[in-house]
Chain A
Amino acid sequence: MNKLLVKILWGKQSFFQLALTMIALVVGVSLMVVTINLYLNFKELLSDNDAFSNNYLVINKSVGYLNTFGLSSTTFDDAEIADVKSNGLVLDVEGFKANQFDVELKTGEPINLRMEIYFESISKKYIDKVPSSWTWREGEEVVPIIMSTEFYNLMSFGFTPTKKGIPQIPKSLLLNHIFELNLRGAKGEKKMKTKIVGYSDRINSLIVPQEFLNWANSNVGSGTKSTYSRVMLEVEDASDPALTTFLENNGYVTNRDQLLSGSGKIKIKLFLSVLGLIGGFIVVLTLNTLVMNIQLLVSKAKAELKMLFSLGYRLKTLFSYMFYGFVVMQLIPLLLIFILLPIVNAGIQAGLNEFMPNFILQTSTEVLMLPLGVFALSVFVMAIFLKRFLRLSVLSD
């Protein structure tokens, strides 16, 4: 390396503007990286199957006076279900099967509470959290139940505080406690046991395995053909206005909140996209500023460049001495980004811990490739423009 050449080409330069450009580059790229990383981390939450998901809806018919007097039914028949399925907005449909017999639950000593309850059943794919113990085969005495979190809340914060002698029981303690079960139907009576094996945020019901309900309906209950009073829909987007219109036109009722949470999700997506776009915009602007900086640095060294060229220095040599300088300077923001990223992520993690204690922010490798990509792009842009500016200033008269 010709140190004298480095001194001549770079010695007179001021790096203030370039430093500002580099800071902008760090901000822009970091913003992009953090946003994309957040999006990737929340992708599951924002779209996939879980409690927050906006892809599942439970619908039922609204109850009118005719229902009260038994002149009309709120159940769905097969034709109606087929109609819902064929409208193009719904991916899949399934009716909740219900019990065709009476169910009495006894808590046993010391509280000794009895209550009439009901069971429903639906395929596993519609349930957000399915514990492995949620299975039943003929001959087994204990029936596992998945209980709605909402139902638990009603009991512990609505009902229990008003009843003397009934303690509030934590969710986890309630799990696997054995209750007595009394089934009475057209074909007789059966004593069994039951336990709560899990909670569902999505389905407001007491869900038992289909195998149990089929067996009990035909062996304890009447065994008639099932009708459905509630239907589960799997949809592309619950906040789709076309879906809302369809449901309204047919007189179907659904949980409004879920539609709202859908629009909340859209807001988060929009926020992340806007943030990412701003990051991208900063990066594009910065690359533009970088080009202007190169022009400035070349024009500041114009006299030296011309003289060196006239002494016999090749354009290629002058180019590489300036280019490698720029590349080294570009490495600084790249390093800064990789140093800053864990710090920013730790900050975000700390913020998330307040309301999502179990969420661990992951950094994917694809995201880490992004700064390298921007670095490669800016080096490429620099090479093209530096070559142009160099030729222009050296060969001009």
Chain B
Amino acid sequence: MQKIVFHKVVPLPIKETFSQESDVWGKEVVFEQGVNCHVCAPSGTGKTTLSHILYGLRHDYDGEVLLGDVKAKSLSPDQWSALRQTEISIIYQDLKLLEEYTGFENIQIKNRLTNFFTPAEIEAHADQLGIARLLGKPCKQMSRGERQRVCILRALSQPFKWLILDEAFSHLDEANTNKAIALINDIAARNKAGVISCNLFEDQHFKYTQKLKL
């Protein structure tokens, strides 16, 4: 899969309200593998909807999403599972962690699918993000920022070609954001992958070669 193509995609919930000036909705957009793309999306323009369509969690849209040559809507749940194991990863805005379980368990539950990292590597990367000592703690006892970093490390614990970021650093200070960006860049480079970073405002987190406005 070399590219993801949006062909006149319009999500049904914003069918009546989406802006005609959007670079994505109702237009032809190509996301190339290995290209860093920034999507600037003010509230209500469908930022989370876009990341969920890219990740296969939503199929309620007009138009077509093509993964390579294949229509996204034609993929079975198990084919989507396969893509989520090795091709596409996501850092959710709402984190979606198992609150009762520890940081380490939350990362492992993803990592176990492909055994991408060894437990030692998970420790090392957690250390880079400044959450190594929190790994044994249930997520419900962590701060929002700490949980966001667990979520980032979980998303990185698999091979991927595209990494979708949905306000991935919204609860981090600048220093921690920079640590996270460094780790993402490092692992994305290793995977020859690009990021699709959706944010409320324009940012300089990655070296973007494609910029879109929702």
Contacts and interface: CB of A to CB of B under 8 A. Distances in A.
Contact of A8 (B78, B82, B109, B158): B109
A316 B78 contact: yes
A290 B110 CA distance: 32
B77 A311 contact: no
Give chain A's interface residue range (CB within 8 Å of chain B).
20 to 34
Interface in A299-331: 304, 307-316
Contacts of A2: 112
Given A304-B98, A314-B78, A315-B78, A4 B112 contact: yes
B105 A313 contact: no
Interface in A361-397: 391, 394-395, 397
A312 B77 contact: no
A307 B109 CA distance: 10
Contacts of A243: none
A314 to B, nearest CB: 4
Contacts of B84: 310-312
Contacts of B177: none
Nearest to A310: B57
A307 B158 contact: no
Contact of A308 (B58, B82, B100, B109): B109
B201 interface: no
A390 to B, nearest CB: 10
A58 to B, nearest CB: 76
Contact of B113 (A11, A304, A313): A313
B43 interface: no
A11 B78 CA distance: 25
Contacts of A391: 77
Interface residues of B, number: 21
A303 to B, nearest CB: 9
B98 A312 contact: no
A312 B81 contact: yes
Contact of B81 (A5, A314, A397): A314
Contacts of B158: 312
A107 to B, nearest CB: 94
Closest 10 CB pairs of A and B: A312-B84, A312-B85, A314-B81, A314-B78, A311-B110, A315-B77, A312-B113, A312-B81, A307-B96, A2-B112
Interface string A1-42: 010110010011000000000000000000000000000000
A165 to B, nearest CB: 96
A189 B55 CA distance: 115
Contacts of B101: 8
A392 to B, nearest CB: 12
Q: Which of A8, A11, A308, A312 neighbours the largest number of chain B CB atoms within 10 Å of its CB?
A: A312
Contacts of A11: 100
Nearest to B60: A397
B108 interface: yes
A4 B77 contact: no
A4 B81 contact: no
30 contacts: A4-B109, A4-B112, A5-B109, A8-B98, A8-B101, A8-B109, A307-B96, A307-B98, A308-B109, A309-B77, A310-B84, A311-B84, A311-B109, A311-B110, A311-B154, A312-B82, A312-B84, A312-B85, A312-B113, A312-B158, A313-B81, A313-B113, A314-B77, A314-B78, A314-B81, A314-B82, A315-B81, A316-B78, A394-B77, A395-B77
Interface string A344-374: 0000000000000000000000000000000
